[in-house]
Structure 1
């Protein structure tokens, strides 16, 4: 197995939480020095390639695949554009999971949905519907997510008791899962709020 490709794949799947250097070394059975060398080469490849919009960032030995700073304005424009105005079914599912299960980690969301959710969580964070509410006291200290006051105001909720019964919602099969929010009203309100 190519170590560079393996680390790149792991960083992609880890999403916004990234991976600690020890997680990488454990998963790929390599030394800290070897992992740091591969990460350094990957970063040089990304940063040295003007056609790539990606880079690798590191904070306290936690590595994350990220977009280059020069694309931040484009990403911000996308986040507020009409193309990104509507929340997808996947985003609504993720938002419902956060609302009912908060505080919750991205890995727990992924386990419930059965797919990776880091990109969706980033869009919900940018829109101010979810926020980081702390870190779990487990190895790697993953980020915990919860809903925001904006979420409560936006959907006209005084408190979380006003949400529909979670037991019924989470017992439904995937094809029976009903939207937590009326999408048509949601889209109309979202467009009005952005004007």
Structure 2
């Protein structure tokens, strides 16, 4: 598979800037080869008529929308954030509540799909926050990080807990057993059932579930 294509895919799904060194590690290439591919990709995207461009800040790269589309993009983002939460978003939020702090890898093992965009949306909504830890939790089943390596994990915010009227996530139904890492399937099932129930309730009320409508509902 072409190196440029691999790097483009990683940049597209990443919710944060990536350095050439990190990209080189991920695609198992030399750093100078990654830099060459990145500059070629920048040249391809930074042309008139493209809606997305590859931006370089310091040693990091990230895809971004073009400045001339700022008003259009801002309007869409605002609509996305104040509108209803989707079933996948509710499922992800439930898993983070029970398993947090949880790595993106473990989260995707439970859901079976990439969660980058969903996590970004939940963070912008103020429901989930990113934390860094160099202490292994023992719950990441596919990635072994050495001691001292910073690992990004996700947990629900105090705002989320406040909306539910709880003293903490430990007060969630069946929190003790479901927070254990062995019960992957059970967590996935309760996440799916919870999201379906919320959507059904919203439909019965003649509307869609929005971020503000999570208050008072058990996750």
TM-score interval, normalised by the smaller of the two chains: 0.7 to 0.9
**Secondary structure, counterpart of 2:10 in structure 1:** helix
Q: 1:29 to 1:148 in 2, by over 3 A?
A: closer
Residues 17 and 142 in structure 1, CA contact (< 8 A), matched pair in contact too? no
Gaps of 5+ in 1: none
CA distance in 1, matches of 2:115, 2:108: 6
Residues 82 and 210 in structure 2, CA contact (< 8 A), matched pair in contact too? no
Task: Map 1:143-182 to 2 at 5 A.
Answer: 143-166=152-175, 167=177, 171-172=185-186, 177-179=192-194, 182=198
Higher relative contact order (CA 8 A, sep 6+): 2
Task: Map 1:1-195 to 2 at 5 A.
Answer: 1-13=1-13, 15-58=14-57, 61-81=59-79, 85-136=83-134, 138=145, 141-166=150-175, 167=177, 171-172=185-186, 177-179=192-194, 182-183=198-199, 184=201, 187=209, 190=212
CA distance in 1, matches of 2:210, 2:7: 42
Gaps of 5+ in 2: 136-144, 203-207
Q: 1:126 to 1:74 in 2, by over 3 A?
A: farther
CA distance in 1, matches of 2:153, 2:189: 28
Q: TM-score by structure 1 length?
A: 0.77
Residues 17 and 143 in structure 1, CA contact (< 8 A), matched pair in contact too? no
Q: TM-score by structure 2 length?
A: 0.70
**Superposed CA RMSD:** 3.3
Equivalent residues, number? 191
